[in-house]
């Protein structure tokens, strides 16, 4: 296919961009170097408009095609890295200690830049492409901030599409599903207040660690005994700390932290209610008190049915096939953009690599031709130029 071959020829150039980004990772909204590089390249490609500072450090480029159909499609890539110490040993490994592109956002950004260059050169579509480079996907809600800045209205976006690499799936292959795809992600913190004292006199204290242990065990019943078995939910306690580090002191306070993942609003409400009720009643039974902080983060990411069909069609033209993806209990803040506009989110295979968020993960540059070509194919297919 012409579009696929054209972008395959760009693989070396896109790989060089990607490896530079990998070597210089930036976390959350502090993507100042990355954002500047993206903006500079978009301007060099000849984009009709390049705007910075959307959603704090987000960048948007506008590419106008042939004709005046008035159609506008948004393409989004994330730019931020993770606070992880890299252990890949690569010659282009992170030069910033404690920061690493461990989720492949360097690859996503580079692939979308490649597509932007191709689309700017060819303009073989009737409408407008809005390329969106987003900071702070990894827990910062950068997608929401860009939407809250009025991005969709300002650039007239009518549909929006996103992509993520997927370790364990053959390089350059695609997978997607319609409807709920990635889970809603919530966080909780439970502070248990007891009565501290000497470990040799347990009768004089209210043991916060005993209370903590019972709360942890009781919370495991929420998914197994409260949530409908045919619906999805994950409740994980990921941290337990006390106010004492001594072997002979029963601590006054202890703190639990954890995460909740759900695929339906009613299940999300149920789990939050049960965490509160179980924690309070368990603490009360032992004579302790609790303070509960529950924070709702990313909503369920829902692919729109019609736009998922378009994404599948483009994927098949690029790679010949597109599988149905499983439900993913991880979160994805592209959900905010899909709440604002119809669209879809697709997975592209990264091959047999370490999983994302692992210190030995690396984006597979062999996935670049397929990923970049999917962006371009989607545009030319949805907004065909008049013959």
Could you tell me if 33 and 26 are in contact, meaning their C-beta atoms sit under 8 angstroms apart? yes
pLDDT value at residue 7: 80
- Count the Cβ atoms, other than its own, within 10 Å of residue 167: 18
pLDDT value at residue 8: 84
pTM: 0.94
3-state secondary structure of 9: coil
Please state, in angstroms and rounded to a whole number, the distance separating the CA atoms of residues 315 and 309: 10
Between strands 159-167 and 197-198, the pairing is: unpaired
Could you tell me if 334 and 77 are in contact, meaning their C-beta atoms sit under 8 angstroms apart? no
pLDDT value at residue 4: 54
pLDDT value at residue 386: 83
Please state, in angstroms and rounded to a whole number, the distance separating the CA atoms of residues 116 and 46: 10
Handedness of CA 26, 29, 33, 37 (dihedral sign): positive
Calculated CA dihedral for residues 308, 310, 314, 317, nearest 10 degrees: 110
The boundaries of every CATH 3.40.630.10 domain in the chain are 2-182+300-382
Burial 11-36 (b: 16+ CB within 10 A, else e): beebbebbbebbbbbbbbbbbeebbe
The boundaries of every CATH 3.30.70.360 domain in the chain are 184-296
Domain spanning 184-296, CATH class: alpha beta
pLDDT value at residue 5: 55
Ranges of the chain with pLDDT below 70? 1-6
Which DSSP state fits 102? -
Polymer length of the chain = 387
CATH (one of 3.20.10.10, 3.30.750.80, 3.40.630.10, 3.40.50.1980) for 2-182+300-382 = 3.40.630.10
pLDDT value at residue 203: 96
């Amino acid at each position: 296919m012409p579009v696929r071959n054209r972008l395959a020829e760009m693989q070396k150039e896109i790989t060089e961009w990607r490896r530079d980004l990998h070597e210089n990772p930036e976390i959350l909204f502090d993507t100042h170097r990355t954002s500047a590089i993206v903006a500079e390249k978009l301007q060099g490609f000849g984009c009709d408009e390049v705007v910075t500072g959307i959603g704090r450090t987000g960048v948007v480029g506008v590419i106008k095609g042939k004709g005046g159909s008035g159609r506008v499609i948004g393409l989004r890539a994330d730019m931020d890295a993770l606070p992880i110490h890299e252990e890949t040993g690569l010659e282009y490994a992170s030069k910033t200690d404690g920061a690493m592109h461990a989720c492949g956002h360097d690859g996503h950004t580079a692939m979308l830049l490649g597509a932007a260059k191709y689309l700017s050169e060819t303009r073989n579509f009737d409408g407008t492409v809005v390329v969106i480079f987003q900071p702070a996907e990894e827990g910062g809600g950068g997608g929401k901030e860009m939407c809250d800045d009025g991005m969709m209205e300002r650039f007239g976006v009518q549909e929006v599409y996103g992509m993520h690499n997927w370790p364990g799936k053959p390089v350059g292959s695609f997978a997607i599903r319609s409807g709920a795809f990635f889970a809603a992600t919530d966080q909780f913190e439970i502070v248990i207040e007891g009565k501290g004292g000497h470990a040799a006199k347990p009768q004089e204290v209210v043991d916060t660690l005993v209370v903590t242990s019972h709360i942890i065990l009781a919370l495991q019943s929420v998914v197994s005994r409260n949530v409908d078995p045919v619906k999805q939910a994950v409740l994980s306690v990921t941290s337990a700390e006390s106010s004492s580090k001594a072997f002979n002191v029963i601590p006054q306070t202890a703190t639990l932290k954890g995460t909740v993942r759900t695929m339906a609003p009613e299940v999300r409400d149920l789990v939050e209610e049960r965490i509160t009720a179980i924690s309070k009643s368990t603490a009360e039974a032992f004579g302790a008190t609790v303070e509960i902080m529950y924070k709702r983060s990313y909503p369920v990411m829902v692919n729109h049915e019609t736009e998922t069909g378009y994404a599948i069609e483009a994927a098949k033209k690029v790679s010949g096939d597109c599988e149905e993806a499983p439900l993913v209990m991880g979160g994805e803040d592209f959900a905010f953009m899909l709440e604002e506009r119809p669209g879809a989110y697709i997975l592209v295979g990264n091959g047999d690599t370490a999983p994302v968020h692992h210190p030995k993960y690396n984006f597979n540059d062999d996935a670049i031709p397929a990923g970049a070509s999917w962006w371009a194919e989607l545009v030319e297919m949805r907004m065909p130029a008049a013959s």
